[in-house]
Amino acid sequence: MDTIKGRLFQLDEMEFLNSFVEITPDKNLINVRGQALTPLLTPLKPIRDGTPITGIDVSSIKIGATEVGAVYAVRGAVVLNVNGKYRYLRFGPFPFHLTRENIPRIFNEMSKELAFSSSFLSQIEPQRHLCNLLERWLQEYISHLAEGNIILWDGSLTSGIPGSPVAELSRILKAARENSNVVMALSKETTLRFLEWRITNLIAKHDPPCLFEIDSLPLSTPNYTRFLGRIYVAKLARGGCSFRLDVDKAISREDTIIAVEKLLGNELVYQGYPETLRLAHIYSTFTASDVIGIQRFLVKEYGLRLVARSNMHRTLFGPYGVRLGD
């Protein structure tokens, strides 16, 4: 505990943080521990013009294991909002049996324009990468198909990390711009820090709707990442949460602000989160009934022989062998 003396200390409770982050009489000035962050804050006014909003999300789940690998299922959803009317389209679920031997072949077949090396594949988690591949395919598909849309992604516009090559993400964003689309990505969680604080806490006390641009701030980020989006903290609804918002960096700042105002004017933002993206998450997520149905299908279709999974903790320790979270 001696090493903690004099260090910054972050709690989950916002009440404690509010004593550090305050709004000065000038609404365009935020003060963080005595440091003023000048006019990076932009108040927003909704623009209601009928701009279509499209949300994309993908999820995956482990279905079971074999003696040589594991079976995962992946599913995606696209939700379209036109003048307050919502429609959705589901892709999947698609089951995959991944083994150490077939992972390179499957991943390279699913993304023929990218050649994944064995060293790269050894660094990634197969389930997450499988999910990323379907998500990128849907994002590219919608970027070519939609025209004049605001396209919402779950996550960020960060590239250079495993599963998000710079060339691939740049190609998708370019296709979206050529069809007059604006790509935005919302992150519910972010690792970006300013003065060791989460960037989403910087405008906790400011009145919504507003955007806080953080591109010019010295942030704590890994050296290998590359940001293809202009990064903001967005607080879009009263009583709602603040989110990291990335907007395609090739779009001007003025057009970015207008696009976010169009999002506000043409979309429900309950608790500060766009409804199309919320619905895309719901329609892509697997329920317990989905998992049971997929398992039953695989058993009947492929003649699998079921075995019970042993629980070493329960065997050794009986009722005391339950770990927290089980």
pLDDT-derived band at 224, boundaries 50, 70, 90: low
State mean pLDDT over 174-203. 83
Dihedral over alpha carbons 161, 225, 246, 123 (to 10 degrees) = 10
| Count of domains forming the chain | 1
Q: How confident is the model at residue 28 (pLDDT cuts 50, 70, 90)?
A: very low
CATH number, domain with residue 57: 3.30.2170
> With contact defined as beta carbons under 8 Å apart, do 180 and 151 qualify?
no
The boundaries of the domain holding residue 84 are 43-288
Mean pLDDT confidence for 231-257:
92
What's the whole-number mean pLDDT along residues 255-281?
96
Judge whether 97 lies within some domain.
yes
pLDDT at residue 173, rounded to an integer: 96
Residue 37 predicted with pLDDT over 60: no
- Which residue did the predictor score with more confidence, 260 or 6? 260
Tokens found for residue 267: 């979309």
User: Per-residue pLDDT for 288 more than 90?
Assistant: yes
| 295 located within any domain | no
1, part of any domain: no
Task: Please tell me the distance from the alpha carbon of residue 190 to that of residue 202, in angstroms, as a whole number.
Answer: 13
What confidence category does residue 314 fall into, taking pLDDT thresholds of 50, 70 and 90? Answer: confident
* 325 domain residue, yes or no: no
Q: Is residue 37 part of a domain?
A: no
**Residue range 136-143: average pLDDT?**
95
pLDDT at 285 over 90: yes
pTM of the predicted structure, to 2 decimals: 0.81
> Would you state the pLDDT for residue 207?
83
Q: What percent of the chain has pLDDT over 70?
A: 76
28 located within any domain: no
117 occurs within a structural domain: yes
Q: What is the pLDDT of residues 63-118, one digit of tens each?
A: 999 888 899 999 999 999 999 999 999 999 999 999 888 888 888 777 765 545 45
Amino acid at 278: R
Least confident of 131-135, 220-224, 271-275: 220-224
- Residue 4 maps to a domain: no
Mean pLDDT of the chain: 82
